[in-house]
Amino acid sequence: MESEMTVHDGGCHCKNVRWRVQAPTKVVVWSCNCSNCSMRGNTHFIVPSERFELLGNSEQFLTTYSFGSHTAKHTFCKVCGITSFYYPRSNPDGVAVTYRCVDPGTLTYVEVKYFDGQNWENSYNQSNIASQSKVDSGN
């Protein structure tokens, strides 16, 4: 799915955590059924880490939860509890942005794909999700 790149702003519910991300206007989001994503109802798109910027004093409002392999870093706001982004196990060189936390007006299309987090290794190998955090030299 080709789409022009734009800047998306977003953050948590209480607005203490704010970020900016450069990503297409049309995104592929991942709905995952792992124990963490399914409980939170998180659906996210992945960008290369260099296209994500945490703004202002947001860092002081973040805390991190990690489990299992401890590769994924599930960040959330200490005040409102919202995970507006996190560092995924599938893409340690990227950031997973919760698409519902993007400020309205810049996303024009969202395609949902499913990631079988209950069978993580198999889904990782079949989904090509790792490519989502690679910088395309054309963009």
What are the pLDDT digits (tens) for 98-121?
Answer: 999 999 999 999 999 887 777 777
Sheet holding 18-24, edge to edge: 5-11, 18-24, 52-54
Q: What is the pLDDT of residue 128?
A: 66
44-73 per-residue burial string, b: 16 or more CB within 10 A, e: under 16: bbbbbeebbebeeebeebbeeeeeeeeebe
Q: Is the pLDDT of residue 137 over 60?
A: no
> Does residue 8 surpass a pLDDT of 60?
yes
CA distance 10 to 113: 22
Closest CA to 58 of 21, 99, 100, 105: 21
Structure confidence by residue, pLDDT tens digits, 65-96: 877 777 778 899 999 999 999 998 888 899 99
Neighbours of 91 (CB within 10 A): 21
Report the pLDDT value the prediction gives residue 121, as an integer from 0 to 100. 74
Radius of gyration from C-alpha coordinates of the chain: 14
Instruction: Select the more confidently predicted residue: 105 or 123.
Output: 105
Take residue 130 and report the two structure tokens written for it.
Answer: 């790792």
Domains of the chain: 5-125 (2.170.150.70)
Task: Check whether 41 has a pLDDT greater than 70.
Answer: yes
The predicted model gives 131-139 an average pLDDT of 65
* Secondary structure percentages of the chain, helix, strand, coil, to 5: 25, 40, 35
Q: What confidence score (pLDDT) does residue 139 get?
A: 42
Helix, coil or strand: residue 117 = helix
Tell me the mean pLDDT in the region 36-52.
89
- What's the average model confidence in pLDDT over 1-24? 92
Which CA distances in Å does 50 have to 23, 99, 114, 128? 11, 18, 25, 20
Percent of the chain's residues with pLDDT above 70: 91
